[in-house]
Amino acid sequence: MKRRVWIAAVASAASLWMAHGVAHADQVEAIKKKGELVVGVLGTDEPMSFIDPKTRELVGYDVDLGRAVAEKLGVKPVFKQITIAARIPELQQGHIDLLAASLTHNKEREAQIDFSLTTFVTGTKVLVRKNSGINDVPELAGKRVVTAKGSSMEVNMRKAVPTANIITFDTSPQAFVALQQGKAVGYVNEDASLARSLNQIGDKRNDYKILPTNLATEPLALGIKKGEANLKKVVDEALRELEASGKAEALYEQWFGQQSALKMPKREFKIETDKID
């Protein structure tokens, strides 16, 4: 009788191990089995990810990185548009396999998810109207400032100017419209996104200026479900291959550099590490 109880206990333990151990560690095989990699993207953050007005397809820097990972896995990339606030919950709940959504890698988020090698480095700044009388970030104390809900920009602004009245929107474009409508004095976003927003408004861009102080310099990366070491290994290998082949540099030039509408300076980073300060 005792022997039967012992065998049953061992079988039960083995079953739990299979459910929580092997299944958990085998996301790569699960992705290959279904034949697709579901990639979460914003779709509202040109040139990271946005909908091409001609083709109605999702395109951009993050989208191309997602495609590279899918190619490495030998599966079809499927892009799912998500909001900034829903990025991490969507990944944690298994609704997506990979986050390619303008995602800042920071220490706080490391407790929630894992990160790939750094794929982009950006600065967080504030855009204001030239006639606002605001010349630098500290002068935003007590003023209304807009940004995207659940973003690192919101966190950085609160740290920089605790007394600022921060109003958040579901997307960055919505926040920028609020600035244009005079509903706020400042608009917080990454420098590349601010450059894009100014390009989109043509000659009216001359009515605005970017304040000189950097709220933060942020590494962006792809997000991976916590503990999925096998998937992280594949993702990082795909990114290292992009860097080694020169394709990473070409993607930067296409979406941010002199070939793009943004015409940002030459890339000063490489895709080579997942370490952050």
Closest CA to 37 of 251, 224, 240: 224
Task: Convert the pLDDT of each residue in 5-47 to its tens digit.
Answer: 444 444 444 444 444 444 345 899 999 999 999 999 999 988 9
Structure tokens at 177: 């419209």
CA 199, 202, 206, 209 torsion: positive or negative?
negative
**pLDDT at site 151:** 87
Task: Convert the pLDDT of each residue in 138-151 to its tens digit.
Answer: 999 999 999 999 88
Q: How far is CA 247 from CA 6, 47, 240, in A?
A: 57, 17, 10
From first CA to last CA, the distance across the chain in angstroms is: 58
Res. 168 pLDDT band, cuts 50 70 90:
very high
Q: Name the burial class of residue 171, with classes exposed (0-12), middle (13-18) and buried (19+) by CB atoms within 10 angstroms of its CB.
A: middle
How big is the CA angle at 269 (ends 263 and 274), to the nearest 5 degrees?
A: 135
**pLDDT at site 99:** 98
Distance CA 71, CA 203 (A): 41
**pLDDT at site 16:** 41
Q: Is a pLDDT exceeding 90 seen at residue 228?
A: yes
**pLDDT at site 262:** 85
Distance CA 218, CA 122 (A): 5
Res. 193 pLDDT band, cuts 50 70 90:
confident
12 or 262: which carries more pLDDT confidence?
A: 262
Average confidence (pLDDT) over 67-76: 98
**pLDDT at site 199:** 86
